Amino acid sequence: MQKILKYVIIDILRNKIVIGYTLFLLAITMSIFNLEDQSTKGLLSLLNIILIVVPLVCILFSAIYVYNSSEFIELLVSQPIKRSTILLSMFTGLSFSMVVAFLIGTGIPILLFEPTSTGITMMGMGVLLTLIFVSVALLTAVYARDKAKGIGWVILLWLYFSLLFDGLILFILYQFSDYPLEKAMVGVSALNPIDLSRILVLLKMDVSAMMGYTGAIFRNFFGTQYGFWIAIAVMLMWAFIPLFITLRKFKRKDL
């Protein structure tokens, strides 16, 4: 496994896209912290980067990478190596390089300029989102044989998680505005890792607004140690359940 992992990582690094991603994050984060005179505003812009750019890059790059290395995968499958080992090395290699890129690009500036609990939470959420979207990308790439179709799916999934899901929530909220939906919303937020990480970061940041009636309900759940760890567990499930499904599918897949 180590050998495959090494090849995957070297291959990704040779790709230069990850290096570009790192530099891009670094440049944006540094400029945000340097330009904004109020640190809350800086953190807010950074939150948008983490919630939009990180999932997009992770899901697209991972999917494209898997499609491009289909020949390499076929070669490996012909060797006496377990299929699960191959897939897990792919996942580990991809997520490792994306996480490192994120930590260098965003983590270092955060530690330099904003080493508060909000900053650290943001970093943690970025790492978790990276894992989740790499895993979702693998799932799509394994299920959709055609590259164009797969990439289309991946973009659609990203759009769904970052925009359509929220639109759907808003629609439901308006349709059922006569019912008390506050508590249900806590559960619904678990269905979207991007929402979940946004709420966790905001609870650290926008405390005053979140303390309103609804905010108080979120706070009572996510604000406690217990709720926080549940949310983290849900995020981890978002990373590992798609991976598990992918693994099962990949084992039986006719390549």
Query: Smallest distance from the beta carbon of 188 to other proteins, in angstroms?
Result: 8
Among candidates 167, 164, 130, which has minimal Cα distance to 51? Answer: 130
Q: Which of 174, 225, 252, 254 binds other proteins (CB under 8 A)?
A: 174
Q: By CB under 8 A, is residue 207 in contact with other proteins?
A: yes
In the bound state with other proteins, the residue whose beta carbon lies nearer, of 55 and 93, is 55
Q: By CB under 8 A, is residue 210 in contact with other proteins?
A: yes
Q: By CB under 8 A, is residue 152 in contact with other proteins?
A: no
Q: By CB under 8 A, is residue 214 in contact with other proteins?
A: yes
Q: By CB under 8 A, is residue 212 in contact with other proteins?
A: yes
10-49: which residues touch other proteins (CB under 8 A)? 38, 40-41, 44, 47-48
Stretch of residues binding other proteins (CB under 8 A), selected from 103-111, 124-132, 140-148, 161-169: 161-169
Stretch of residues binding other proteins (CB under 8 A), selected from 8-16, 132-140, 163-171, 237-245: 163-171
Q: By CB under 8 A, is residue 185 in contact with other proteins?
A: yes
| Buried residues in 173-201 as b, exposed as e (16+ CB within 10 A) | eeeeeeeeeeeebbebbbebbbbbbbbbb
Among candidates 41, 160, 33, which has minimal Cα distance to 105? Answer: 33
Within the chain, residue ranges assigned H as helices are: 2-15, 17-35, 39-48, 54-68, 70-78, 83-102, 108-113, 117-143, 147-159, 165-175, 182-189, 193-205, 207-210, 213-222, 225-252
Place of tokens 């897949």: 253
Q: By CB under 8 A, is residue 197 in contact with other proteins?
A: no
